């Protein structure tokens, strides 16, 4: 496993889509997906796909509720590529201990989970 993060330590915001439909029993079925793209830069050393990212300038526009008109969708799609490229170029990675994969026993607040290790 690898820790992939921004070089400045800031949070990364992955672009995603949600839908919600009321089913025949009156309950809501909600689905969510992360938008992915070809992995480049440091993330490409770890995996062939990576999330598309949004920055602080784009996040409010991205999270605005409601259905978008075609021109709004095209605008967001167009800037998403440029913004995500910029963020991808700032990513750094390092290997971490395999204990990060054991969800039954790990302490999610343990900073050692993301401590760099040497690969042998």
pLDDT of residue 43: 65
Confidence tier at 35 by pLDDT (50, 70, 90): very high
* pLDDT(46) > 70: yes
pTM exceeding 0.85:
no
Distance CA 68, CA 76 (A): 10
According to the model, what pLDDT value does residue 21 have?
A: 92
Integer-rounded Cα radius of gyration of the chain:
18
Confidence grade of residue 67 (pLDDT, cut at 50, 70, 90): confident
Query: How would CATH label the architecture of 2-114?
Result: Alpha-Beta Complex (3.90)
Tokens found for residue 53: 């990212």
CB 84 within 8 A of CB 38: no
Domain locations in the chain as residue ranges: 2-114
């Amino acid at each position: 496993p690898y820790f992939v993060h921004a070089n400045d330590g800031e949070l990364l915001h992955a672009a995603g889509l949600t839908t919600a439909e009321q089913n025949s029993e009156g309950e809501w079925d909600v689905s969510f997906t992360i938008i992915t793209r070809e992995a480049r830069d440091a993330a490409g050393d770890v995996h062939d796909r990576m999330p598309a990212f949004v920055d602080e300038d784009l996040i409010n526009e991205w999270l605005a509720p409601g259905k978008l008109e075609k021109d709004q969708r095209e605008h967001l799609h167009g800037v998403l590529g440029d913004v995500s490229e910029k963020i991808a170029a700032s990513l750094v990675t390092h290997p971490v201990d395999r204990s990060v994969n054991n969800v039954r026993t790990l302490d999610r607040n343990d900073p050692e989970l993301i401590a760099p290790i040497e690969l042998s």
